[in-house]
Structure 1
Amino acid sequence: MTHSDLAARIHAAAHLTGTFTLRSGRSASEYFDKYRFEADPVLLDEVAARMVPLVPSDTEVLAGLEMGGIPVVTALGRHTGLPCAFVRKTAKAYGTRRLAEGAEIAGRRVLIIEDVVTSGGQIVLSAEELRTLGADVHEALCVIDREQGGGEALAAQGIQLSSLLTADDLRSAAAR
């Protein structure tokens, strides 16, 4: 499967039109419903396999953000052999009371994994929290970059964003 084929499959599975409010608070007339490609085990496995070359070689832990980043990080961890941390939006108030479950992050080079990035807001918040816990965070990797300022917002926080696909990749592949 080519990069364009993968983009077309994801577009077919996940692209919706209508009126949507994004996590950033922005309104959008198109939406990429990540759960539609994350729920397809064959498609998710292909996504993870294609993301492997984008993982920086000095990465020690993959950190998936709640909720959509969790299936992606699990699949990616399977392909890379790297341990995974599962990062909540807020630490739970019971049990371990941890923000990041799974692999230890303190003193380790951590790559944040997200499904779709628009403004980068959740990555900024989570990176700050992970850094407070001792993680070394300088990169983030997503499946789809909506190309709406997320990369720039992350760069301002010292985080380099890489993406498997962009919104333009998906639209171009669907137009063929």
Structure 2
Amino acid sequence: MNNSTYKSQLLTLLSRISFRLGQFTLSSGGTSDYYIDCRTTTLHAEGGRLTGHAVLELLDEHGIDADAVGGLTMGADPIVSNVATASAWNAQVDPEYPLVHGFLVRKAEKAHGTGRRIEGFLREGARVVIVDDVCTTGASTINAIQAAKDAGMVVAAVVCLVERQEAGGRPAVEAAAGDAPFLALFTANDVRAEHIKTASV
């Protein structure tokens, strides 16, 4: 299955089960006439599968090699798991396909046990991709970028499923990411347009 198929099917599902019109308060404190809850899609059985493969193919398209993907809990959690699983599936088909492991960034360090802030894959010098579901202000993405850097890992790219294109969001993430590219599978306008198109059918 090619990239456009994974991506287009994911867009259709996002527009159908994750997009809502109405009056909503955003993480930035502002209001919007729409809301996109990506977790409804990334935690959906088929939506999760599509998410994993679509993210991997986006990375392949841009020539980005990574040892792992990770992000701030909890918006990133299903994305991370699905990408790691999709890489294992790809490796079953092609033994030369590299496994991409996963890690999750806690909002604060554990107060017990190992006291770690990062759970899962953790290796100094590893190339990692920071993932998030929706980028509005970019605060959660920036939080995860900093945690990965603090742990000695190298941020190779930043990926979000949907970029809301709010003022300041993308520039803030790009500033935190440094030379690492910021990639979005879709913009909010993409999802809205697909929602309107499918609703009219």
TM-score (norm. length: structure 2): 0.80
Q: Is the 8 A contact 1:14 1:32 kept in 2?
A: yes
2:84 aligned residue: 77
User: Cα gap change, 1:106/1:22 in structure 2, threshold over 3 Å: closer, same or farther?
Assistant: farther
Structure 2 CA distance for aligned equivalents of residues 13 and 156 of structure 1: 32
Are residues 128 and 97 of structure 1, via their aligned partners in 2, closer, same or farther at CA, if it must alter by over 3 Å? same
Q: How many aligned positions are there?
A: 176
- 1:88 matched to 2:106? The reply is yes
In 2, the alpha carbon distance for the partners of 1:26 and 1:44 equals 29
Higher mean alpha-carbon deviation, 73-82 vs 53-62, is at: 53-62
In structure 2, distance between residues paired with 1:11 and 1:79: 22
CA contact (8 A) 1:142 1:163 kept: yes
Equivalent-residue separation in structure 1 for 2:194 and 2:19 (angstroms): 12
> Does 53-62 or 119-128 show the bigger shift?
53-62
User: Rg bigger for which structure?
Assistant: 2
Deviations 1:100-136 (A, max 9, x none): 1111132111110111111111111221222112111
Measure the CA separation in 1 of the matches of 2:152 and 2:17.
38
The alpha carbon displacement at 1:77 in A equals 0.8
| Residue aligning to 1:104 | 122
Identity %: 28
Equivalence for 1:147? 165
1:126-145 equivalent positions in 2, closer than 5 A: 126-145=144-163
Q: TM-score, normalised on structure 1?
A: 0.90
Gaps of 5+ in 2: 88-98
Per-residue deviation at 1:5? 4.3
Kept after mapping to 2: 8 A contact 1:20/1:30: yes
1:65 corresponding residue in structure 2: 72
CA–CA separation in structure 2 for the residues paired with 1:150 and 1:138: 19
Contact 1:4–1:173 (CA under 8 A) maintained in structure 2: no
Which of 51, 55, 65 is matched with 1:51 structurally?
55
Equivalent residues of 2:159, 2:182 under 8 A apart: yes
Query: Do the aligned residues in 1 keep the contact of 2:106 with 2:117 (CA within 8 Å)?
Result: yes
